Chains A and B, each alone.
Chain A
Amino acid sequence: MSKTVLLVEDEPNIIEAISFLLERDGWTVRIHSQGDDAVDAVLRVAPDVLVLDVMLPGRSGFDILRDLRSNTVTKDLPILMLTARGQTKDRELAESYGVSHFMTKPFSNDEMLGKVRDLYTASADKP
C-alpha cells in the first residue's frame, strides 16, 4: 500500500507540479484547496504526510496547524509547511505551533521531495 500525502494548497499550477512530482515518487496524492474545512479533510484522509500552504481561502495555515497539534489524532502528523511568507516571525510562529518543517516559496523540487521523504521516514521510525 502506497504512502499518502495530503496537499492543502489553492494554487492550481503548484498543485499540478507538486502532485506530478510526488506521484512519480510513488506517493498517493490527495488534494484539498480550502482552509476552512482543512482539519476535517486531514481527519478524513489520514495522510502519512501533510503538505500545508499558509495563505488559504477561508482559514490560514497557521490556524490549521495549531488545531491539528491540539488534536490527539494528528498531534504527531508530519507537516511540511509551504509559504511565500518567509519572514522570521512567520517561521517562529509556525515553529511555536509545532510544525515539522517550514519551507519558503519558491523551493526546489528536489528539496521539497527530499523533505517529504525525510518527514515520513522520521515518523515511521518512531516507536
Chain B
Amino acid sequence: MPKSALTGSRIREHRLMRGLKQADLARDIGISASYLNLIEHNRRRIGGKTLLALSEALKIDPSTLSQGAERAVVTELQDAAASDADIPVELDQIDDLVARFPGWAAKITAQHRRLRALEQTVGGLNDRLTHDPVLSERMHEVLSTVSAIRSTAAILVGTPDLGAEWQARFYSNIDTESRRLADSSAAMAAHLDNLSRKDTSTATPLEVVFSAFDARGHHLRELEEGGDPEAFAAKMSEIDSTAARTLAAEYFRTYSADAKAMPLEIFEPAAHEMKFDPAALAVRFGVPLEAVFRRLASLPRGATVPDIGLVSCDAAGALLVRKSPSGLALPWFGAGCPLWPLYAALSAPGVPIRRVIEGEDGARFTAMALAHPSGPLRFDRPPVYHSIMLLVAQDDATGEVAIPVGSSCRICARSDCDARREPTVLTHG
C-alpha cells in the first residue's frame, strides 16, 4: 500500500523553495526536526494546528498543503486498478501519478466513474427488461397477435379448398389482429421511449446528487439564504433526470430545514464555542443529533473549522450520503469498511456511538455514529433505520486507542482483518 506522498512532499518542496533548513522550520513551529523529517517523508500525517503552523511559516494557504482531494483521487485510482485486475498497473506509483500528472489522474478517475456508471445503467436496463411487468405484458400481446396472424395467414395460403365463409372469417381475423398488433406495437414503443427519457443519465440518481454536493463543498449558499429547495434542484444543470431531481429536492428540503433550525450565523460561533461537540449543540438548538451531524458537515471549510466528513447508510448498509474527509476516502461504489462505527450503530438504534478510528495512512478521526428512524414512527409497522456517522479529523495522535479501518475491502491492504469480505487487489509495498 503506497503511503500518500503528497502533503509531506509539498511541505518539503515549499521549504526548499524558501531556502529554509529543516531544523529551522521545525524550531519555528515548535516541533522537533526529526518529527518534521517524518512528516516530509510522509511517515506522519498532520492536520489542524501543525498544518496551519507550517502553512503560516511557509507563507502559503493551508489548502495548498492539504491532501484531501488528492487522497480521494488516489483511492479512486486504486479502485480503477481493481476493476480490471487482468491489466497489471504500477500500484506503488499511484502517488507519483497524482502528483506529477494530475490531469491524467483526473481523466482516469473520471473515465472510471463513467465506466462504473455505464455498467450500472446496463445492469438496470437488464433488470428492467427482465422484470418490467408492463414491458412483459406488451411483449406478450405483440407475440400473441403475431402468432394469430401467422397461423391464420398460413391457413389462407396453404388451404386452396378453403370455403368462402372460412376465407371471409380468416381475412376478418387477420384484419382484427393486424390492428391489434399496430396498437400493441405502438404502446410498446411508447413504453420504451418513456423508459429511455427517464434514463438519459449514466450515473445513478444518488451519484448525481452527491456529485452536485461535492462540487459545492457540501455547503449550499442558495439554501442558506432561504432559497426554495425544489427550485434549486430544478435549476441545477448537472441534475438531468426526474429521479435525480426528486432525490435532490428531498435532500435539499432536509438541508433547508437544518439551516432554518440552526442558522449559519448562530450555529458556526456556537460550534466553535462548544468545540464542535454534536451532543452539546443538539441540546443548545433543540434538534436531533443527526441534524447536528448534517449541519456540522455543511459548514464552509476554513482555517478554524476542522476537516469534517459525513457518511450515512440505510438498514441494508447501502451508502447514501458521502462526504470524504482528508485521509479517509469514502468509496463511490459498493459498501464501505464493515468496521466503521456507522454499521455498529445499526445494532443499537438510538444509542450514539463515539470511537476513534484510524485510516490506512494513519489519519485519525473521532467517529460519532447514530442509527435513527428514517421516517415517522408508527404502530402498524416496524421502524426503518438509517445510520449516520460524523468524522472529525483529530490533530496529531492523542494517545487514544484507535480502531484501524479502511475505505472498502477491495482497496484496503490491511492484513489480519476479521471483517474482510473479499481479498484486496493491492500489493503490499
Per-residue CB contact flags for chain A residues 1-36 toward chain B (1 = under 8 Å, else 0) read: 000000000010110111011001000000000000
Cross-chain contact B177 with A108 (CB below 8 angstroms): no
Counting CB contacts under 8 A, is A75 at the interface?
Answer: no
Chain A residues with CB under 8 Å of B159's CB are: 24
| Complex CA–CA separation, A18 to B147 (angstroms) | 11
Q: Which residues of B contact A107 (CB under 8 A)?
A: 147, 150-151
Are A16 and B144 in contact (CB-based, < 8 A)?
A: no
> B421 at the A/B interface (Cβ < 8 Å)?
no
Question: CB < 8 Å: which of A13, A20, A112 contacts B176?
Answer: A13
Assess the B151–A11 pair: CB atoms within 8 A.
Answer: no
* Beta-carbon contact of B140 and A17 below 8 Å: no
Q: Which chain A residue has the least Cβ–Cβ distance from B158?
A: A109
Question: Shortest beta-carbon distance, A96 to chain B, in Å?
Answer: 19
Q: Is B154 at the interface (CB under 8 A from chain A)?
A: yes
SS class, residues of chain B in contact with chain A: helix
B140 touches A14 (CB 8 A): no
Pair A105/B169 contact, Cβ less than 8 Å: no
B140 to A, closest residue via Cβ:
A84
Is the Cβ of B158 less than 8 Å from the Cβ of A84? no
Task: Verify if B152 is at the interface (C-beta below 8 Å from A).
Answer: yes
* Residue among B136, B139, B144, B155 with the highest chain A CB neighbour number at 10 A: B144
Interfacial chain A residues near B136, Cβ < 8 Å: 85
A114 in the interface (beta carbon within 8 A)? no
Q: Taking the complex as formed, is A39 at the interface, i.e. its CB lies under 8 A from any CB of chain B?
A: no
User: Are A16 and B169 touching (Cβ within 8 A)?
Assistant: yes
Say yes or no: B155 contacts A21, CB within 8 Å: yes
Do B173 and A13 have beta carbons less than 8 Å apart? yes
> Do residues B140 and A55 form an inter-chain contact, with CB atoms below 8 A?
yes
- For B143, the closest partner residue in chain A by CB is A84
Contact bitstring A65-107, B, C-beta under 8 A = 1, else 0: 0000000000000000000110000000000000000000111
Q: Is B146 an interface residue (CB 8 A)?
A: yes
| A14 and B155 within 8 A (CB) | no
Task: Map CB proximity to A onto B126-161 as digits: 1 under 8 Å, 0 otherwise.
Answer: 000000000010011001101111111011001100
Count A-side interface residues using an 8 Å CB cutoff: 18
Given contacts A16-B169, A84-B140, A106-B143, contact A11 B158 (CB under 8 A): no
CA distance A107 to B152 in the complex (A): 11
Residues on the A chain within 8 Å of B173, using CB: 13, 16-17
A105 touches B147 (CB 8 A): yes
The reply to whether A84 and B144 contact each other, CB–CB distance below 8 Å, is yes
A24 CA / B176 CA spacing, docked (Å): 23
B171 smallest CB distance to A (angstroms)? 12
- Asked if A11 meets B166 with Cβ closer than 8 Å, knowing A17-B155, A21-B151, A109-B158, the reply is no
The distance in angstroms between the C-alpha atoms of A18 and B150, with both chains bound, is 11
Which residue of A has the minimal Cβ distance to B139? A84
Contacts of B139 in A (CB 8 A): 84
Distance, CA A26 to CA B177, complexed state (A): 27
Q: Specify which of A17, A107, A109, A112 lies most central, judged by the most chain B CB atoms within 10 Å of its CB.
A: A17
Asked, given contacts A13-B176, A16-B173, A17-B152, whether A106 binds B146 with beta carbons under 8 Å apart, the answer is yes
Name which residue of chain B comes closest to A107, CB basis. Answer: B147
Chain B's closest residue to A14 (CB) is B148
How far does the Cβ of A107 sit from chain B's closest Cβ, in whole Å? 7
Residues of B within 8 A of A17 (CB): 148, 151-152, 155, 170, 173
**Whose C-beta in chain A lies nearest to the C-beta of B141?**
A84
Interfacial chain B residues near A108, Cβ < 8 Å: 150, 154
Contact in complex: B154, A109 (CB < 8 Å): yes
Partner of B151, one of A14, A24, A84: A14
Could you tell me which A residues sit within 8 Å of B by CB distance?
11, 13-14, 16-18, 20-21, 24, 55, 84-85, 105-109, 112
Known: A14-B144, A14-B148; 5 extra A-B contacts, CB below 8 A, are A16-B173, A17-B148, A84-B139, A84-B144, A85-B140
What are 7 A-B pairs with beta-carbon distances under 8 A? A11-B147, A13-B148, A14-B148, A16-B152, A55-B144, A106-B150, A107-B150
